[in-house]
Structure formats: structure tokens, C-alpha cells
Chain A
């Protein structure tokens, strides 16, 4: 600052110079120089003084900070001393992730042979079914979850099938607090489409998956639709719950079938939800799934009863509408509560259908279908521990155009599984939960899925036990 000052004075001096005579100039210059020198000196002393004071102040501040820190530290120590009473000793296992296991088993009684189960009118995903007769072990599930570091959470779910095979159900990482409501998930995970799909089977209200999930998402009787890929989800910063999500995957699972460079399937989903009052809460959503199956095969019989394998290639698009509404008196579900839930799936498939691909002369043709399906279910806990539930399932045959049949090359009876049919099923269940960690369920279903129109009476008895880490109360 003073340097500028000095320079200014010098500049003024320089400007003023030409108007003055030499002698006066010399004398005045001398006195100005003197003045500047004095000014400089006085500033320098003052600066030194100020610097010293600043330094002193800084030292004092640092000391104050140090003592404040030590005061803080002793306060923390006091707190820690209180908390330490419950602390566990340090050990390698202290960072063990949360581990939980689910044990399941069923006793099934079916009036029809479960091996011949089919959903009439729909291209079979290949894993549809009702389960095994008699005593059978359900999936035993092992889950390991933990925060990886401050940025990621990891989750591994392995399902052990009764036939001694191991299936990797889920293996994903998820960002923690990417902030602004964004969450990125990667790996293998249950898709966020619909409502039931993200819920593990042991937390379902019925033993088996809705027919619409089996026919359109290829979940099988006990599974979920999953994919290997990425999911980006965003939650709006509003009081109304608004969730938007997008997923891209390899499309290995029905309705896709893998073997594709780049993205094999993608989906979008959005959900809104909230509380209507203390007693009512809801969530509703719309989802869209797009897959490009290529040589997706299924088995059928031709018109004379010989087994054939047909193959579909093209475009499969699914729209899913879902809603769930829950009621509990004053929002306290402990004694009584009601849950009403429904989903509708509409599928549009266009492409080519190749008939009998294993023969010397496969017959290709165009294929297009508009088909739908839905379920509606209600579950009522009427006293603590006891719940009763009712579910109706229905699929709509819609329109199916098979090129070979329309052109008269092949009779419709060469595609028996695609002959128009409206599968229906009504299911009644009663379950008893001795605690939050155990449940017994009795379920009866009258199933009219089979293309031959024969009813199947299905009686199931199930147990579900959870061990280890406390489960999540997902809405």
C-alpha cells in the first residue's frame, strides 16, 4: 500500500518538475527525498510493529485452539467412556458384514402332474411351474451385506436350491450418498420395475409368483427378474415421493436371451408414493422394459404330436403398471393391517418365429403379439400373528399373429401352446408368524393355466425362518 503511496508521490513530483527552476528544484527535491525517506522509515517501523502484534495474536489463537481442542477431547473421552462400556473388543471379525440366512421348505399337493404345467396361449419362458410334489426344500438363501467404505455398499445373495445347485441371486454394489438423490447400482440385481420384483421371495405374501410374472418376466414360480448391468435412480427433493430410474443390462434373462454386444435390455421406471393420512400409505408406478431377444427358443409339439423347438428373434416390449396401498389403524400395523396390491403387465412382441429349427427345413415366419396379464391381491392381518390373503391372477390372450398360419403354410395346431387361452388362478392363503423371524403358511390355489383347460388344485404348506441380521421392513 505504502509502496503505491511512495510511487504516487514520486509521480506527482515527476509531473511537477518541468515548471520549476533548477535551484529550487534541487532544494525541493532534496526535501521531498528526505520526506519520503522519513515516511518510508515510519511505515517500516509501523509494519514491523503490526507484524509483531499479528504474530503474537496468532500464537495466542493457536494456544486457545489447542486448549479448546483438549477440552473437546476430554469431553469426547468422557462420552467414549460412557459408550465404551458396550463396545466390543477389537478383533479381525469386528468388521464382519451383516449375514442372514433364510430357511424354507414346502409340502405340496397338486392334483395335476407339475411336470406337465404350462401357461396356455403364451410363449413359454421355460422355467414356469408350480413346484415339486410332496415334501420339498424351498430355496435356502444366504445374504451378506455391508458398507464397503464411505462411498459404497455391497450386497451378495446366494440361493441354494433343493437340487443342490447354487444360484447367484444378487451381487451388487450401490453408491451411498452420491447426493442430490442419485443412487447408482451395479452388478446383478433384481430390477426396479413393478412392485413385487424387488422383493425377495421369502418376503412375499404368497408362496409363488403371479402368473403374469411367470409368463412375461420369466421369473419361474419362486424367482424374480434380474439382470447384470447398471441402475441409476433419482429421488426428487419433494414431499411427495417421486422416484425415477433407468437400467441397462445384458439381457440374458427372459424376455431377452443374451448373446448381444452392448446393451441387451434397458428399462425405465417411475414410482410415486406417500401417506394419505396416518393410517393409509400408497405407492404406484409405471415401468417399461425393452429387450431384443435373438434366437430365443422354446419347446412345443407339432400338430401330430412330435416335439419341436421354435425360435423367436425380434423385439420385446413390456409396460408394467403397479400399485400398493397399505392400511393400519393410526399407522400402527402391530395388531391389524391390510395390504392391497396389484400389477398389470402388457407385452408387445414383434419379429420372426422360426418353426422347428432342429429339422432339415425350418419354417420361418413373421410373429407379432399384444398380450397382457394382471393380478390383484389383498392380505389382512386380523389379529397379531395371523394373516389371511386372497389373490386373483389372470392373463389375457390378446392377439397373436403367426405368419406361417396366416399365410396358410402351417396349421394353427402346429403351435399348440400359442392357441388362444385365458389362464386364471385364484389363491387363498393363511399364515401364522410366531415372531418377526418365523412364519408358517397354508395356501390353496385353483389354477386354470393349462392350455387343455384342466383345473389344478394346489395345496401348499410352507415354513420360512430367518436367521441372523434383522431383515428390512421394505414398503
Chain B
């Protein structure tokens, strides 16, 4: 028992010393929110990403490492809209960390602050794994990033008032750079307007909506169900009536279905970085959009 107590004390001390390093411990559910929080918080925050660009944030588990990280977090920044429904509630209930419970300032769900697309009119799992709050993959519209950046800046200032001035200044600087970048991307992306595309899952919807492209099909027969040979054939025959120019997928989606359909239809299958770290070029949010637009332009030629 004595040894146990000593261990407890040592562990607590270790933790206390760890906590002293950065002002705020942030657990971001996805790489895009990690990158954004890092951008806005600078050296005042220490950010850990729960998922990588090669993982589907919907399908991961509440791993022990994530419970440990959530235990010490001052702020969790997640997408919400049930994207993390399989594991985020478990992190909340397992960690015994009051600061990050829903409703607390330390709990931020980005999708609550933007206008969501594809809010289902009818909720029925016969339509696949749909999200009652709407399509949760909001981050590929840069206007949504700008909106969420405002919320994160305010939240950081609220949680760490001593550094509020720094957060506000960084927030302002980011917004200026970001708005300029949006203008540039919108100019560069102008030729993409009206381009018909097929995506693997409904996770590019906001990008397509922003650039004015058209989503004419999905490789998944229903959201969340893996593509089947039958459905790919159906897509192929649909393309005779309504042709698509590009087939898009993320780095974490199986390349085989999109490549097989692309070969049959003789159109390019393109992997977009999807989020920060999705390919060699997408090192931060700016290069993520740079690379996404470049890849789309090249494929649409």
C-alpha cells in the first residue's frame, strides 16, 4: 500500500511538471482543427491530434492513449455533428475531466458554429449512416475555417485570459492572411465551376459546394457502406447519361473502387489530401487548400 501511495504521488508530480510546459493542453479530434488551433495559439498551446490524415475519424476507437490525452486536456476541439459519436462520448465519460464535458468552455464542436449542408429531412438508418445534424465534414470550405477560427480564438482567450491579447492578435493576423488566401483560391479555382465529380464518401460536399462543382454520385451505395461491384456498375451506367469528370477520394479511403471505376470510365481518379498531413504538400491549412486546388485543376484539364 505504501509503495502504491508513493507511486501515486510520483505520478501526480510528474503530471504537474508536464502540465507546466504549455499554458493550454488541447486535444483536437482531427488534424485540421489541430493545425488551426496551433496556428491561433502559437507557443501558448500544446496540441495533440486524436486522428491522423490516414484515419477515418468516424471509425476509430476510444484508445487508451486518447483517454490519457483527454484526461489532461484543457480544451477539446472536435468536429461534432456525430462525426466522433463512436468514441468522443467515451472519452468524455472515461476521463473524469470536468473541464472538457459538453457545455463547458473546454468543449468545442466546430460544426455547431457553421451552416451545415445536407441536414436530413428524414432520419432512418435505411439511408445508411447518416448524421441527424447534417453533413459533418465541414472543414473543406475555407469560410467555415475562418468562422471556426473566430470561435477558437475567443475560446482560447476565455480559457487563458493571461494570454488573451496574444490570441486576439494571432487571430487577427490569421484572419487577414486567410481572407487573402480565400480570394486567391477562389480566383484559381474559378475554372472548376460546374465540373461534375464522383466522391467515395460524402466527405467532399463542402469543398464541392464552395467551388461550385457538382457531386453526381458516390462510390458508397449508402453513406458508411463499403462500395460494392453492383453499385459501381450502376454508377458506370449512370455516367453514360450524366458524365463525371473526376473521381475523388481521401487518403484513408480504399483506392481500389475509385481506380476500377476510373479505368472503366477513362477519367482520372484523384486522391485529395483532405486534411493537413494528407500528402507531402499539405503541411498546414494554407498548403492543404493550395494543393487541393492544384490537384483539382490538373485533373479537370
Contacts and interface: CB of A to CB of B under 8 A. Distances in A.
A82 B60 contact: no
B220 to A, nearest CB: 11
A326 B295 CA distance: 34
A11 B161 CA distance: 48
Contacts of B119: 85-86
Interface stretch (A20-28, A236-244, A255-263, A423-431): A236-244
Contact of A475 (B12, B16, B64, B93): B64
A272 B102 CA distance: 26
A179 interface: yes
Given A85-B119, A239-B69, A435 B82 contact: no
Given A235-B71, A470-B82, A241 B65 contact: yes
B125 interface: yes
A150 B102 CA distance: 9
A474 B90 contact: yes
Given A79-B113, A240-B68, A273-B65, A235 B101 contact: no
A334 B67 CA distance: 21
B98 A179 contact: yes
B113 A83 contact: yes
Given A176-B93, A278-B52, A470 B63 contact: no
Contact of B67 (A180, A241, A335): A241
Given A238-B18, A278-B52, A333-B59, A177 B97 contact: yes
B111 to A, nearest CB: 9
A181 B95 contact: yes
A281 B103 contact: no
A117 B115 CA distance: 60
Given A281-B63, A384-B226, A437-B125, A150 B68 contact: no
Nearest to A330: B54
Contacts of B254: 334-335, 384
Contacts of B56: 332, 334
A92 interface: no
A153 interface: yes
Given A83-B112, A174-B93, A331 B55 contact: yes
B90 A472 contact: yes
Interface string A227-254: 0000001111111111100000000000
Contacts of B100: 177
A178 B252 CA distance: 37
Interface in A271-287: 271-275, 278, 281-283
A331 B52 contact: yes
Nearest to A278: B52
B62 A474 contact: yes
Contacts of B226: 334, 384-385
Interface string B124-138: 010011000110000
Contacts of A326: 61
A404 to B, nearest CB: 38
Nearest to A183: B96
A275 B133 contact: no
A251 to B, nearest CB: 22
A182 interface: yes
B159 interface: no
A475 B63 contact: yes
B94 interface: yes
Nearest to A155: B93
B86 interface: yes
Nearest to B227: A384
A273 B94 CA distance: 14
Interface in B75-96: 82, 85-87, 89-90, 92-96
From A86, A180, A182, A326, residue with most partner B Cβ within 10 Å: A86
A473 interface: yes
A435 B56 CA distance: 16
Contacts of A332: 54-56, 59, 252
Given A331-B60, A332-B55, A82 B115 contact: yes
Contacts of B99: 177, 179
A82 B114 contact: yes
A86 B133 contact: yes
B297 interface: no
B54 A278 contact: yes
Interface in B2-20: 11-12, 14-16, 18-19
B86 A475 contact: no
Given A274-B68, A330-B54, A473 B96 contact: no
A362 B68 CA distance: 55
Contact of B97 (A181, A239, A281, A334): A181
A139 B59 CA distance: 26
A175 interface: yes
Contact of B64 (A147, A271, A385, A435): A271
A471 interface: yes
A332 B55 CA distance: 5
Interface string A166-187: 0000000011111111110000
A240 B226 CA distance: 34
Contacts of B97: 177, 179, 181
A472 B64 contact: no
B278 to A, nearest CB: 12
Contacts of A234: 96
A175 B97 CA distance: 10
Given A332-B55, A473-B60, A475-B64, A233 B225 contact: no
Contacts of A85: 115, 119
A238 B85 CA distance: 25
Shortest Cβ-Cβ A-B pairs, 8 listed: A177-B98, A273-B64, A237-B15, A241-B64, A473-B86, A330-B54, A241-B68, A384-B226
Interface of A: 79, 82-83, 85-86, 147, 150, 153, 174-183, 233-243, 271-275, 278, 281-283, 326, 330-335, 384-385, 434-437, 467, 470-475
Given A240-B68, A241-B67, 11 more contacts: A83-B113, A176-B98, A177-B99, A183-B94, A235-B94, A243-B67, A274-B64, A282-B64, A331-B55, A385-B226, A435-B225
10 contacts: A86-B119, A147-B102, A178-B96, A235-B96, A238-B18, A273-B65, A331-B52, A435-B225, A467-B125, A475-B63
